[in-house]
Structure 1
């Protein structure tokens, strides 16, 4: 470090350093002066283009159209897969039956599996039961009730699931949704305004039918907090809810796959 000494020479040095610094600073400014306006202009063009696109194209409707196309495409794929699998399943069943006639262990396993087919949902059942009807709030004038949002007027996945769980809790022996047999591994999913079950889309009104004691199942529905929430929404917004006692109803056997990847014993 050099020692500072006052005098004309030192002031000349300070002045020289300042002059050099002032010369160097303008050399950097033109880049920023040009770059910042260009970036601001580009950002403005992007915002303007986005706003124009949003005003010209109904983005929400566009997504709904894409979702409807996707659901239809998946439903067609499921139907094609089922058409391909059905003859293969029949062939496997025929070969298994033929082998069982000559193989005692295979026959024993078939008999053991047959004992659980009804409980698992792979056998058709018939008897008294209860049907629950759920429907969206349909208003011909298209005017929503005061304070209602569009979602308040629709039947949702949790509404269907609440009814299904209450019917099982009420002692249901077998159940269908929209005529489709449901078992322990069946999943009820809502995608947009439709219900997906086993890969097939269904639209409201939804019908859930269960075989069992109608009175016990009706009591279970009344005691379900999820069903009570739907009743409140039905009173407020006009959603549809109705129970029908069935003296004699049939439910088909489940025809899908029984593959279970994971499970947990309830506690």
Structure 2
């Protein structure tokens, strides 16, 4: 036909348009040896720590003081408050009982007995006529004469038994108060030799030892004269080869202060053999 173009054959698509690009093989980087060994090691260590924690806790919380919820905290605080109130009530009841006991007749009698015994126990000061006795070691120049006449050296010094003998004689003579070196003597007073001094209630005092007593001077002097231990000491005082110190003076007024030391007693306890 005139003016018409004959349809020609269709052009085949280009092979480059439909064909997929060739497959390219990408190489993955290899992990280092440290990562391959370290990762399993860390996992094993973590597991071991979990096992150790479980064994130590024995099924309990490793932090027992920690509350898991507010309700538990409130309940615990409420229980503590109730315990404190109960303890307070017990203390108030005890105070009431003790207050009633203080006003009771037995307590009043006990207080009266204590007041009555304070004076004879040495807890009240005493003043009155009495005697003053002084004991002292022999002079130093007596030692050679004593050795030459075969006299024991221990007879030249004042011992605790000499002081005790004088004090005991004064008690026998009716002394109402006795002092040694100005310290009040009571039933628990201890006298002990310590080197060239005498310890009185743990405190050392050097010679001369002054012993004073409140009481009837005539009765006190008579008791001193009658005591055999004091008589032996006075015989050494009269011996010129011993010449140990002795002096007795009658006093118109002797001041004996109240005992102000410790009054607590301590006792030995048996060992527990169980």
> In structure 1, how many angstroms separate the alpha carbons of the residues matched to 2:229 and 2:143?
27
The answer to whether residue 137 in structure 2 is matched with residue 136 in structure 1 is yes
Alignment partners' CA distance in 1, 2:136 and 2:198: 12
TM-score (structure 2 length as normaliser): 0.55
Alignment of 1:106-185 (within 5 A): 108-140=109-141, 143-145=144-146, 146-185=149-188
- Per the alignment, residue 260 of structure 2 pairs with 255
Residue matched to 1:238: 243
Normalized per residue, the structure richer in helix is: 1
2:228 matched to which residue of 1? Answer: 225
Instruction: State the 1:148 CA deviation.
Output: 2.6
Q: Is 1:104 the counterpart of 2:103 in the alignment?
A: yes
2:142–2:243: 8 Å Cα contact kept in structure 1? Answer: no
User: Offset at 1:108?
Assistant: 5.0
> What are the Cα deviations for residues 4-62 of structure 1, in whole angstroms up to 9, with x where unaligned?
xxxxxxxxxxxxxxxxxxxxxxxxxxxxxxxxxxxxxxxxxxxxxxxxxxxxxxxxxxx
The residue number in structure 1 matching 2:28 is none
User: Which SS does the other structure have where 1:130 is aligned?
Assistant: strand
Secondary structure of residue in 2 paired with 1:122 = coil
Q: Once structures 1 and 2 are overlaid, which stretch shifts more, 241-250 or 136-145?
A: 136-145
Residues 192, 243 of structure 1: alpha-carbon distance in 2 compared, 3 angstrom cutoff: same
Report the Cα offset of residue 141 of structure 1: 7.5
1:86 aligned partner: none
Cα distance in 2, alignment partners of residues 157 and 148 from structure 1: 20
Return the index of the structure with the highest Cα Rg: 2
- Decide whether the 8 Å contact of 1:129 with 1:246 is kept in 2: yes
- Gaps of at least 5 residues in structure 1 are 1-98, 263-267
Secondary structure of the residue aligned to 2:115 is helix
- 1:185–1:260 CA contact under 8 A, matched in 2: no
Q: How many correspondences in the alignment?
A: 164
Q: Give the whole-Å Cα distance in 2 for the aligned partners of 1:223 and 1:112.
A: 35
- Report the TM-score, using the length of structure 1 for normalisation: 0.56
SS in 2 for 1:220: helix
For residue 142 of structure 1, report the CA deviation from its aligned partner. 5.8
Cα offset, 1:259, TM superposition: 4.0
CA contact (8 A) 1:129 1:212 kept: yes
Question: Matched residues in 1 for 2:246 and 2:159: separation?
Answer: 13
Aligned to 1:127, the other structure's residue is in SS state: strand
Deviations 1:119-157 (A, max 9, x none): 111000110011111010013486342323321210111
Report the alpha carbon displacement of residue 249 of structure 1 after superposing the two structures with TM. Answer: 1.4
